[in-house]
Structure 1
Amino acid sequence: MEKQRIYRYTWGFLFLFAGVAAGLILNVCMGSVRIPVEEVWRILTGKGGEMVSARILLDIRMPRTIAAILLGGALALAGYLLQTFFHNPIAGPFVLGISSGAKMAVALVMVVLMGHSVRVTSADMILSAFLGALLSMGFVLLVSRRMAGMSQLVISGVMIGYICSAITELIVTFAEDSDIVNLHNWAQGSFSGITWEQTELIAAVILVTFLITFSLSKPLGAYQLGESYAQNMGVNIRALRIWLVLLSSILSACIVSFAGPISFVGIATPHLVKRLFGSSRPLLMIPACFLGGSVFCLFCDLLARNLFAPTELNISTVTAIFGAPVVLWVMAKQRKDRGL
């Protein structure tokens, strides 16, 4: 039995790594300008290649693809942390309104600072999004204490999201025309326009957050078995909850700052990964969810860019098409398990 589990885990990780590798290759090669794999290799190794292809590959596609890997993984990991925190299978940054809170804060900073000709840095964007995500998370926590049912918590999160979105629209009303264009494009969700400088910052923030999250694997495993059990195992429940709030907010903030709000990845991916591995152990789920989110976003971004080229779809449009059925399946499964 133990050998079968190890075999399944090994093949699960190999499948996810192969998916990331395939998604990376397809994303850098395919687009309005096709670049053969051989030419990609020559450009990356400095052995030649056309100048136009090199600029497209190095300045546009590579940073965008790496950002999709990092941000997709972060989004799935944030969803897993929130589902663990609330013991709720359909909790996620988008559903609970946390992404909307981060979006509201970023829109406010962009409009106010840009309106006064103040340069907005990537660090400013992350910090403002983090504060907005924490604000929304605070409201969700307050509501969760009074809401016993899963459906009530989800409805409350959706309402918080609507409130934040309404405030964002109000902010946009008083923005300059040039700022409105930037806000509109960003608010739709896209990995387009991400630079190497931004990718380096994304990588630094997400790497540190991932390592801290992975170090919490053991207390998270105990927490999944119940708070009483975790306390008996010596887990500081209050400290663990604070860490879960902070880590999920940082991940959500990083995603919204650079790619805008992206729906359903954080909810759907953890369930698909659990199905693949047949386990919910944090030691497996944390890296597996990250890889699964990367694969999900790589292939959704590939479709968004190429399906109706040269017109590019919003990434949230594609993720919703594939992610929403998973959410419906989870809800139906929960109803069946309860015998309703």
Structure 2
Amino acid sequence: MHAEAIQANLIAPLSRRAWVFALLLALTAVMMVLNLRIGSISYPVNDLIGALLNPAGKSDISYIVWNIRLPRTIAAALGGAFLAVSGLLLQVYFRNLIVGPFILGISSGSTVMVSLVMLTSIGLGFSGYAPYLNTIASCLGAYGVTALIVAIAARVRGGATLLIIGLMMGYLCGAVTSILTALAEKETIKGFVLWQMGSFSGFKWAEVWIMFIVGGLMLAGTYLMSKPLNALLLGEDYAASMGVDIRRFRLAILLLASSLAGLVTAFAGPVAFIGLAVPHMARLSLGTSDNRVLLPGACLFGALITSLCDLIARMWLSPVELPLSAITAFFGAPIVIYLLLKKGMKS
């Protein structure tokens, strides 16, 4: 009987996780279909399927689906997954549930570097390589802020202090961006302001492929690090005893987290709270801290929540499109408040 009870306890969580993953897959698929179907012009499901099966079709629906809605839908799902994994890695690194790429100012660092490309003459002569140039600049900005945050975090203790430092970094980066915007020419300001609001609109297939290939490789590398990540949760001494090179491993975590956040910011602009809120949602739903389970769970949650927020941003006050970060804040801000209150009550 005792052995049967233990086996039942092992099977129950696995069964629950299987149901959660199945539900997430189904909801994400439904949300992506809704993003393809609903817009300023909505199409019946049969017409949508016909357009998807005929990419070379000459009809208006085929053009809209394949050149406007499908790239945006895929980009939103990928972007949400990347931001969620970036946030999860940062939370493991700092051992703090209230950190994320936007909260720590990493996305703001990316914004500063992209503003240098978009608002100054740096990008002149490279217009044909704009996606690549923005991506490189965004990642460099993310690396720079991450390095500063790590240096400061080594000198302070307490999640609230780290949170405040991250917010101050965001304000400093925002100040630099504001100065560059004030000095820029009017022709360049409009495009930058639209980008800075955060949106997956206007995605081209070349940009989607960059996100898919580059981000996919980084996700694969992150998943291969699942076991060392679990070991790190138990402390650096334990991870070192398991053969993990702590110095190189921590550097790899930061590079992957910053690169994933920078990649999304380069194309979609700064998107708030997905990287902070989604990993916490995954932990609560899956009932585990095992990164072998959390990483794919965070990917699915990120894709689902970001796709939902993108749909709301498009349709809430249609034909006016709302900033994506304004919608994601409604999901993320309450979770930040909850975590801070929970931590305050424990202390």
TM-score, normalisation: structure 2: 0.95
Counterpart-to-counterpart distance in 2, 1:227 and 1:40: 52
Unaligned runs of 5+ in 2: 1-8
Q: Who is 1:283 aligned against?
A: 292
Which residue of the other structure, out of 15, 26, 45, is the alignment partner of 1:18? Answer: 26
Q: How does 1:23-38 map to 2 (within 5 A)?
A: 23-38=31-46
Task: Report the alpha carbon displacement of residue 20 of structure 1 after superposing the two structures with TM.
Answer: 1.1
Q: Who is 1:108 aligned against?
A: 116
Query: What amino acid is the match of 2:342?
Result: K
Unaligned runs of 5+ in 1: none
Task: Report the alpha carbon displacement of residue 264 of structure 1 after superposing the two structures with TM.
Answer: 0.6
Which residue of the other structure, out of 84, 88, 91, is the alignment partner of 1:83? Answer: 91
Q: Deviations over 1:60-95 (max 9, x none)?
A: 000000000100100011000000000011110000
Counterpart-to-counterpart distance in 1, 2:184 and 2:55: 48
Task: Report the alpha carbon displacement of residue 121 of structure 1 after superposing the two structures with TM.
Answer: 2.1
Q: Who is 1:2 aligned against?
A: 10
3-state SS of 2:271 partner: coil
Q: Please give the root-mean-square deviation of Cα atoms over the aligned residues, in Å.
A: 1.4
Counterpart-to-counterpart distance in 1, 2:222 and 2:328: 25
Q: Deviations over 1:283-319 (max 9, x none)?
A: 0011110111000100000111111111111110100
Task: Report the alpha carbon displacement of residue 145 of structure 1 after superposing the two structures with TM.
Answer: 1.3
Counterpart-to-counterpart distance in 2, 1:109 and 1:261: 15
Counterpart-to-counterpart distance in 2, 1:175 and 1:22: 42
TM-score, normalisation: structure 1: 0.96
Q: Identity over aligned residues, as a percent?
A: 37
Q: Deviations over 1:33-86 (max 9, x none)?
A: 001111111111129988122211111000000000100100011000000000
Query: What amino acid is the match of 2:199?
Result: S
Q: Who is 2:5 aligned against?
A: none
Q: Who is 1:319 aligned against?
A: 328
Task: Report the alpha carbon displacement of residue 172 of structure 1 after superposing the two structures with TM.
Answer: 1.3
Which residue of the other structure, out of 173, 183, 202, is the alignment partner of 2:182? Answer: 173
Which residue of the other structure, out of 157, 178, 181, is the alignment partner of 2:166? Answer: 157
Indicate if the aligned counterparts of 2:314 and 2:320 stay in contact, CA closer than 8 A.
Answer: yes
Runs of 4 or more above 6 Å deviation: 47-50
Task: Report the alpha carbon displacement of residue 148 of structure 1 after superposing the two structures with TM.
Answer: 0.7
Query: What amino acid is the match of 2:103?
Result: V
Q: How does 1:117-196 map to 2 (within 5 A)?
A: 118-119=126-127, 120-196=129-205
Counterpart-to-counterpart distance in 2, 1:336 and 1:50: 61
3-state SS of 1:121 partner: helix
Q: Who is 2:6 aligned against?
A: none
Counterpart-to-counterpart distance in 1, 2:188 and 2:125: 11
Number of aligned residues:
338
